[in-house]
Amino acid sequence: MAYDPDNIFARILKGEIPCKKVHEDEYALAFEDIAPAAPVHVLVIPKGNYSSFNDFATQAPADQVKGFFASVQAVAAKLGLPEKGYRLITNHGADASQTVHHFHVHILGGRSLGGLVAHE
Ligand code: AMP
């Protein structure tokens, strides 16, 4: 999917829409999800224009990929999650119900998260 520079996370990155910021560095911005699915639910987004994990993994330079995932780990550590555990989720495309087309990783924690996938 072509990247839409006016998607909601792009607008958060540009400062046009507010967010509850948790962390920011050279590679990533992390903020609280507006509809939390767990006591801790933070989104981490790269600073480049990538529409999904698939796009990021195939198009981003290696230093950005490494820097971004180091930022995800730093956010989890900042939130005190590594000791008890946490889950990372990233949705690519329709079958995964991706709704915002700027690559993002969900960090979920703060309670036992149960099984991997909800069955419908
Ligand atoms: P996904 O289904 O993986 O694309 O997830 C998109 C996530 O973005 C959902 O969990 C939404 O609750 C969250 N979201 C949408 N708009 C905002 C916003 N303005 N601030 C924070 N989180 C948002």
Boundaries of every domain in the chain:
8-109
Alpha carbon of 68 to ligand 1 centroid (Å): 19
pLDDT tens for each residue of 16-50: 999 999 999 999 999 999 999 999 999 999 999 99
Calculate mean pLDDT across residues 89-112: 97
Locate the ligand 1 atom nearest the alpha carbon of residue 106 and give its number: 3
What residue ranges line ligand 1, CB within 6 angstroms?
8, 17, 19, 33-35, 43, 91, 97-100
Residue 33 CA, closest ligand 1 atom number: 22
> Phi, psi (5° rounding) for residue 28?
-150, 155
Query: Which residue of 34, 40, 90, 91 sits with most ligand 1 atoms within 8 Å of its CB, as the best mutation to test the pocket?
Result: 34
What are the residue numbers of the active site? 104
Cα separation, 20 vs 107, whole angstroms = 14
For range 87-99, the mean pLDDT: 97
Position 120 scores a pLDDT of 63
pLDDT of residue 107: 98
91 φ/ψ angles, rounded to the nearest 5 degrees:
-105, 130
CATH 3.40.190.10 correct for 8-109: no
Mean pLDDT is lowest, of 53-57, 88-92, 112-116, for 112-116
